[in-house]
Structure 1
Amino acid sequence: MNVNDVVAEKIAAAKRKAEEAKRRRLALAANRQRGLAIRHAAKLRRQAANNFLGPQENPTTEENP
């Protein structure tokens, strides 16, 4: 084993490490997007449910006669 072989192995290991990190980032990004979509859908359902009940009056607000 000579120096060129050692350098080639280190380069290959660095490439594998970079590819694994890239795959992890992509997986995390996909899971994050899925979670955000679920949160957004829940928010829209909540807003639709609140609007379905009609406008809610604020009891602390009084109209001036």
Structure 2
Amino acid sequence: MASHVEQQIAACIAAGARREQQAADRAAFAERRAHGLRARHATKRRRLDQAADESREP
């Protein structure tokens, strides 16, 4: 049977691992979000440029 000190140490280690995993998850989400925002912006720019080109044609 583990002592209460050993249990606390194990809980601390587990909490640290959870924090590291959460930080990695947040970083991955931020990267995916940034990629999506760049793609959305590029699509919007293409659409606006296309509309501007069409309005300039005689």
| Fold equivalence (TM over 0.5) | yes
Tell me the TM-score normalised to structure 1 length: 0.78
Distance in 1 (CA, whole Å) between partners of 2:3 and 2:32 is: 44
Tell me the TM-score normalised to structure 2 length: 0.87
Among all aligned residue pairs of Structure 1 and Structure 2, give the percentage whose two residues are the same amino acid. 27
Q: Could you tell me which residue of structure 2 aligns to residue 51 of structure 1? A: 52
Q: Which runs of 5+ in 2 are unaligned?
A: none
| Rg (Cα) greater in structure | 1
Aligned length: 55
Higher helix residue share:
2
Counterpart code for 2:9: A
Alpha-carbon deviation of 1:3?
1.7
Secondary structure in structure 1 of the residue aligned to 2:55: coil
